[in-house]
Structure 1
Amino acid sequence: MKTKLTSIFAAALLASGATLAFADEPSAPAQSEQPPAQMNKDMMQGMGGGMGKGMGMGMHMGKGMAECAAASDRLATLKGDLAITDAQTAAWDEYTNAVKSRMDVMKSNRAGMMKAMNDGGGLIQRLDARITAMQAMLKSMTSLKAAAEKLYGALDADQKKKADTLLGTGCMM
Structure 2
Amino acid sequence: MNGECRMMPGMMSGGMGGMAGMMTGDHMEGRLAFLKTELHITDAQGKVWSAFADAVRAAAKGARTMHGSMMGTATATWPERLAQHEKMLSAHLDALKSIRAAAEPLYAALDAEQKKTADDLMAGPMMGSM
Task: Quickly name the TM-score band, shorter chain normalised.
Answer: 0.7 to 0.9
Query: 1:58–1:166: structure 2 CA closer, same or farther, 3 Å change rule?
Result: closer
- Structure with greater Cα Rg: 1
Deviations 1:117-138 (A, max 9, x none): 3xx2212221111111110000
For 2:120 and 2:33, the matched residues in 1 are separated by: 16
Partner of 2:17: 59
Task: Work out whether residues 102 and 140 of structure 1, in 8 Å CA contact, stay in contact via their aligned partners in 2.
Answer: yes
- TM-score of the two chains, using structure 2 as the length reference: 0.74
Corresponding position: 1:162 with 2:117: yes
Give how far 1:167 is off.
Answer: 2.6
Q: Which runs of 5+ in 1 are unaligned?
A: 1-53
Deviations 1:56-114 (A, max 9, x none): x99329xx82xx22121011121111111111111101111111122122212211221
- Residue correspondence of structure 1 range 14-93 to structure 2 within 5 A: 59-60=17-18, 65=22, 68-69=23-24, 70-93=27-50
SS at match of 2:73: helix
Aligned partner letter, 2:78: L
For 2:83 and 2:48, the matched residues in 1 are separated by: 35
Corresponding position: 1:107 with 2:64: yes
Task: Work out whether residues 16 and 126 of structure 2, in 8 Å CA contact, stay in contact via their aligned partners in 1.
Answer: no
Query: How many residues in Structure 1 have an aligned counterpart in Structure 2?
Result: 113
Aligned partner letter, 2:18: H
Corresponding position: 1:95 with 2:52: yes
Root-mean-square deviation (Å) = 2.7
Task: Work out whether residues 60 and 171 of structure 1, in 8 Å CA contact, stay in contact via their aligned partners in 2.
Answer: no
Task: Work out whether residues 41 and 49 of structure 2, in 8 Å CA contact, stay in contact via their aligned partners in 1.
Answer: yes
Task: Work out whether residues 112 and 129 of structure 1, in 8 Å CA contact, stay in contact via their aligned partners in 2.
Answer: no
Task: Work out whether residues 103 and 171 of structure 1, in 8 Å CA contact, stay in contact via their aligned partners in 2.
Answer: no
Identity %: 36
Aligned partner letter, 1:89: G
Structure with the larger RCO, 1 or 2 (CA within 8 Å, 6+ apart): 2
Aligned with residue 144 of structure 1, among 62, 87, 99: 99
Moved over 3 A (4+): 168-172
SS at match of 2:17: coil
Q: Which runs of 5+ in 2 are unaligned?
A: 1-12
Give how far 1:152 is off.
Answer: 0.1
